Chains A and B, each alone.
Chain A
């Protein structure tokens, strides 16, 4: 059959030059439509003799396929080009801000409480709690601070009002977390390992004191715990909490009515340019009070001091936060200044754990 090459050339050229889908459809109809040139040629095949028909048929089919493929390819190319055009027109300013989303924060007191909890939990300490309005028995007497003991006066205690005719001694706002020791002993008995974090209150307000602050109490009771164990626990705690490998603690004899022997604990540190560094330098900073639980305190908690012994310690949570995170002013902790909350706060997902680390 003659002229196939001419046909092919004509249509392929037409397809390639088509500017839009309409032009392309016209070409398709002209070539492959019912009355299209190639379709007509197909019909002519019937009048041919079989030998010629076979060869011509194959050639025609090839031509048809070729044009069809070219049409499809061009159609896709045209669609791509049209899409490209549209997308170009859909330009947006990607430098505009994202939709606003509030970022919340966790207060340093909560964060540090969780850090402390994570460390002591790993050493087997549970978390005990107690009321913040406390009877004077739990806050003082049970802790071996009898009514006339000078230590009672030194606590700067807040008292609750007493209704007329109510002759009980006034309740107090707990001056320390130590009463939780007694409650934990009464509830769980020995052996026992607990910490008790929480709010405490003292009548003191100046540059470095607020009438409310936070402490964490620790208490461990067993048959053979000694002050040397206490020192190890505190060393481990400080190493983990301050996230430094070298921590050196110094025990210094002191007095707390509820422990005997008692020790103040200092940590080795340096102050350079107002920057505190734990674990180095020639300075010592007092960080906590501790000691072996006084036999009278064990007895008040319902534990036989002849069978059991143990240690207790008390730390300031706010102070720990200030030391670790370089927060200068205690009073600001309770002022809820948004700028402070954002600057010193922690993200909701900053979950302190022993396995994942305490701070980022």
Chain B
């Protein structure tokens, strides 16, 4: 919402400065976005007189002027300055506008410096309107009548010193979409008084030849009230300069007197109006719901096709106006219009918003009607506008025609001055509170307050409190300590799951991964690669084709990040993200993943040969570290039932029964290729919420069971089929004597051609170390032998393996 200071002063009698006004506006909740103060730009340009203009000695087209300037303003000392000027109208005795050295000239963008032009000094400038950016006129320098006050600022003398203020209006304040509403707020704050506004109805001298009816179905809601009248014999031309200037300075294009008047009321009173060329209207006007399919070319020169139910104004020939949104071109007024029908109606905000949105029309009328104009001002607005049309365009007004009635807005809420204290915490005397509400137009009666008809946003007691606090100024609010919920040491507030998320993140950073935060939506192709891309997870209105689906997994985002980093020359990467993945499109169909990705080599090249390609066991180790910090049991089942984006032979799932806690392994080469990542790439995803919590939470640890007896380590090498998995063998060995065997670990694997050459085709060797921990007495050789034999037997039974000779 833009207005100028002089416009504001049409409604507000105030001595407050521009700075005071803008500060108050922001504090009142009418946040000032921008102030354009012409004085800042054009304050240095003052009215001067050319004492003498003579021919420049060295140039035909230049003149040498002695200029009388008045740097201290009217009545101040005179200072004579020599100026070289190229304007044809520079002459002795001219009253012009002078810019001294040091002035920034907006039209040329130049800061004036003392100069020498063709051998003659020149100290300033005689200006044209274009140099001041006031018009395109650069025929010559400004030539003022002799009444012009020497030394006065040109903008003051010309009446152009009118600062423009641009404020942001929150959706609850339609009343502040009119200058009068803004003035009312400032007056309530104490920055002046609101000037009275008297509406004198214009008596009609004839019956309006155009009648109005509202369809019964719309009277209840869509259009409760429509008023209008014909004004005949008007002369429509350019509007007067003051009106054009107000519109221009607030960013609107003046069109013609009739249109400018309707716009003036839109911005001045938040009262949008419409004018039809009465001679183009066939028959009467009817407000009704469109049946659908009708078309109308609107004033924006676009043709709109109506959907059934959209509210329109029709004459005998069909729709002529998109009610409350935009008028139609065929009945629009032109310079030739002599008879006009002026419309002032009250439209239902929701209906207007729906139609406006469906037709994608953004008009000042729609903007205001959908936020809510003052229904009680419908007829007064018509009368005021009639008066202005008669004044500026002449003509003769008909009687008012109307249908419907002002909708009921009367309501009252309990007003308890103590609520301000208890809700806001500010001590405002009751008298001041009442004064504020009355200044804003509320009626107070008993313990109740009734909002004025222009405040549809006031819907309860809390709104009254807000009005009082807002006008009193929240800037003055002093903080008051909030006591602790309970005395003493605060209890922990994070849930176990929240602690877990934090732990996973810190663990991964500790393991050397860089945390990424990638977008929750990814492109359809990537989503499909990772089991998503379903209709349920599709975003209806994505902002780009890269962000069409909710991610089913965190890996595509990390792979894309890896590809970008590889393109920048970083080949070795360890990236992770902890965040949501989306299985479906319903609230709650999201789960927390912790995903790590290793790409390239395990380390930079170094003199010690540390560098090697990352492999699945790196990913597995890091996954196990994360699982461990989340409290997963040390032993889990490992299956090969992996999703399609993993390497089918080099990936696994760790879990407990059917509950998968983690997937890990090499990323499928096809996926890597599709994502543009140069491998090798291994990854893991820990399903953070799937890790079971311990059944009973106790800080106490189980007693430590250690034995003083010497443990015995025995190594076994088995020859097994190539496809036998180490875990099967380890579990078999472990099962040989659960009491005695403390640990079994694989310490060697011998596979490949050489191994098969030695041990037979399709064979490999796995070597395990078994640690025996006696509890009550040292083991004898016989006992050790017995356990060893049992291990060999168990392994043979489980895997078909035999001891390697």
Contact = CB atoms under 8 A, between A and B. Distances in A.
A307 interface: no
Contacts of B426: 227-228
B170 A254 contact: yes
A201 B485 contact: no
A261 B470 contact: yes
B325 interface: no
A161 B536 contact: yes
B505 A106 contact: yes
B370 A224 contact: no
Contacts of B170: 254-255
B36 interface: no
Interface residues of A, number: 97
Interface in B265-304: none
B328 to A, nearest CB: 25
Given A102-B512, A226-B423, A252-B27, A127 B543 contact: no
A132 B580 contact: yes
B72 interface: no
A159 interface: yes
A109 to B, nearest CB: 5
Nearest to A229: B482
A126 B493 contact: yes
Contacts of B424: 226-228, 261, 292
A122 B488 CA distance: 11
B628 interface: no
A150 interface: yes
B547 interface: yes
B783 interface: no
Interface in B17-31: 26-29, 31
A134 interface: yes
Interface in B497-549: 498, 502, 505-521, 535-544, 547
Contact of B585 (A105, A133, A204): A133
A114 interface: yes
Identify which of A124, A150, A160, A234 gathers the most chain B CB atoms within 10 Å of its CB: A160
A337 B520 CA distance: 17
B586 interface: yes
Contacts of B469: 227, 253, 261
Interface in A162-216: 162-163, 170-171, 173, 191, 193, 199, 201, 203-205, 211-212
Identify which of B493, B588, B607 gathers the most chain A CB atoms within 10 Å of its CB: B493
B498 A158 contact: no
B540 A159 contact: yes
Given A337-B565, A348-B509, A228 B536 contact: no
B477 A231 contact: yes
Contacts of A121: 490, 492-494
B425 interface: yes
Contact of B520 (A159, A170, A171, A201): A201
Interface string B298-328: 0000000000000000000000000000000
B463 A260 contact: yes
Contact of B516 (A148, A203, A255, A336): A336
Interface in A318-360: 333-339, 341-342, 345-349, 351
A124 B494 contact: no
B466 A262 contact: yes
Interface stretch (B148-156, B348-356, B737-745): B348-356
A272 interface: no
B539 A159 contact: yes
Interface in A90-142: 96-97, 99-107, 109-110, 114, 117, 121-127, 129, 131-135, 138
B515 A104 contact: yes
A301 interface: no
A170 B535 CA distance: 13
Contacts of A134: 587
A345 B370 contact: no
B698 interface: no
A75 B432 CA distance: 104
A117 B486 CA distance: 18
Nearest to B544: A205
A254 B550 contact: no
A71 interface: no
Contacts of B492: 121
Contact of A96 (B573, B587, B607): B607
B550 A133 contact: yes
Contacts of A199: 520, 579-580
Given A96-B607, A251-B474, A212 B564 contact: no
Given A121-B494, A253-B469, A138 B587 contact: yes
B604 interface: yes
Nearest to A145: B171
A141 to B, nearest CB: 14
Contacts of B608: 99
Interface string B16-53: 00000000001111010000000000000000000000
Contact of A203 (B515, B543, B603, B606): B543
B465 interface: yes
B610 interface: yes
A153 interface: yes
B482 A220 contact: yes
B777 interface: no
Contact of A264 (B31, B477, B506, B579): B31
A113 B45 CA distance: 54
Interface in B587-603: 587-590, 603
B422 interface: yes
Given A124-B484, A226-B423, A345 B538 contact: no
Contact of A153 (B350, B357, B463, B550): B357
Nearest to B565: A338
Contacts of A53: none
Contacts of B481: 229, 232
Given A132-B590, A134-B587, A351-B506, A105 B514 contact: yes
List 10 tightest A-B contacts by C-beta distance, closest first.
Answer: A102-B512, A228-B425, A348-B509, A253-B29, A232-B479, A336-B561, A226-B425, A255-B170, A261-B466, A104-B509
12 contacts: A100-B603, A104-B508, A124-B493, A160-B537, A160-B540, A161-B585, A212-B521, A231-B425, A231-B477, A261-B470, A309-B422, A336-B575
